[in-house]
Amino acid sequence: MTIQTKLPEFKTDEMVINLGPQHPATHGVLRLILTLDGEVVKHTEPVLGHLHRAQEWQGQNRTWFQYQALIDRVDYLSGMFTSWALSRAAEVIDGTEVPRRAEFLRVLCAELNRISSHLLWLGTYLIDLGALYGFPFYPFIEREKILTFFEEISGQRMMYNYIRIGGVQRDPKAEWFKKVEEFTKDFPKRVDEWEAIVTENPIFLNRTKGIGVLTKEVAQAYGVTGPTLRASGIDFDLRRFKPYSVYPELKFDVPVYNKDGDTWDRYMARIQEMRQSIEIIKQVLDMIPEGEIMSKKQNAGLRIKAGEGFAAVESPRGILGCYITSNGSDKPYRFRWRNPSFSNLSVLPPLLEERPISDIMAIFGSLDIILPDVDR
């Protein structure tokens, strides 16, 4: 009698699955071609370009004045920063002096915008982790207030077109500053509340601690910037490293995490950044001087001197740079954008390797990608 000691060969196949572009959790139209072994990801191939709108080409075919209004769409969650990068690049070429009050207003609006962008990220990140119904709405309540502020000064809730070449569009009234001040007093308490629900939640810790570890070396190699980079332990913030506008006069910390660079660190980096932004806003409200807000005429005759220039700002997602060549006509000659989301997204395939399918969204969400910002 023989006893079969060896099991028969058990053959498994890999499965190729399309995640997106019509998937409820890809934050837009990203397509990932995944090769799965069971539930484990073996290979990831991001497919870009579903939202390509030729923003750079459009810039070359529109006047300066028209393009200013269009550029908010590149990163629709932080429109202030795209307009700011464009304005700064143009001002560098032109040599325009921006009025001091306008610089303070720019910092104020940009920091408010940074908070609103992180708030939307916070809500949607919890949705990515499966807390679909409760928590995600709380950050949106606060974001609503910030959008109301923006609506009052620019007439828009998303595409502000507020920061213009040479200054800012409109001078807010005194009551507006009062409302913002009240908001800054109230907001840190709300952050404490959210942290009480989320930060130490065992399920949240299980889903984020030690997941998607992005080491310093990998982050540098891929050109990752913003909170994602700082969560990996590299102290690099343009506001500090290469200060622009009135940032040298303001006191604030740049939260850096030196430990793991996992998704939980990226979450904490953004939470701390919101707190620091509030500190900046408080100082700006104290220091803001009276005076002019615009040094260039805003009409179809807007011209920039011939020359080349590059300027970058620290957007909520990282370094947002704008390179312009001007020939002195009413249209820019060449345009090039450096978008943080693109380089941050490129780090996704190494992070997803050998992770289960449930971690895809936990890791992808923690990078805070805006798809129009990737594809332009």
- Give residues in contact with another protein (CB under 8 A): 15, 17, 23-25, 39, 126-138, 141, 144-145, 148, 179, 182, 186, 190, 197, 201, 203-204, 206-207, 356-361
**Distances from the Cα of 125 to the Cαs of 28, 32, 71, 170, 318, in angstroms?**
14, 18, 26, 34, 18
Cβ closest to another protein, residue 203 vs residue 221: 203
Nearest to 358 by CA among 207, 209, 228, 214: 207
To another protein, the closest distance from the beta carbon of 208 in angstroms equals 9
To another protein, the closest distance from the beta carbon of 172 in angstroms equals 14
Cβ closest to another protein, residue 196 vs residue 300: 196
To another protein, the closest distance from the beta carbon of 14 in angstroms equals 12
To another protein, the closest distance from the beta carbon of 13 in angstroms equals 12
**Alpha-carbon torsion 68, 69, 75, 78, what sign?**
positive
Alpha carbon distance 32, 52 (integer Å)? 16
Cβ closest to another protein, residue 141 vs residue 287: 141
Cβ 89 vs Cβ 309: under 8 Å? yes
- What's the distance, CA 213 to chain centroid? 20
Alpha carbon distance 256, 191 (integer Å)? 19
To another protein, the closest distance from the beta carbon of 362 in angstroms equals 8
Provide the token pair at 182: 């009240």
Cβ closest to another protein, residue 37 vs residue 253: 37
Cβ closest to another protein, residue 138 vs residue 257: 138
Cβ 109 vs Cβ 150: under 8 Å? yes
**Distances from the Cα of 351 to the Cαs of 210, 248, 313, in angstroms?**
12, 35, 27
Cβ closest to another protein, residue 125 vs residue 236: 125
Alpha carbon distance 94, 304 (integer Å)? 6
Cβ 320 vs Cβ 85: under 8 Å? yes
To another protein, the closest distance from the beta carbon of 360 in angstroms equals 7
Cβ closest to another protein, residue 313 vs residue 363: 363
The order of strands in the sheet holding 332-338 is: 307-315, 318-326, 332-338
Alpha carbon distance 163, 372 (integer Å)? 20
To another protein, the closest distance from the beta carbon of 108 in angstroms equals 17
Cβ closest to another protein, residue 144 vs residue 249: 144
To another protein, the closest distance from the beta carbon of 353 in angstroms equals 17
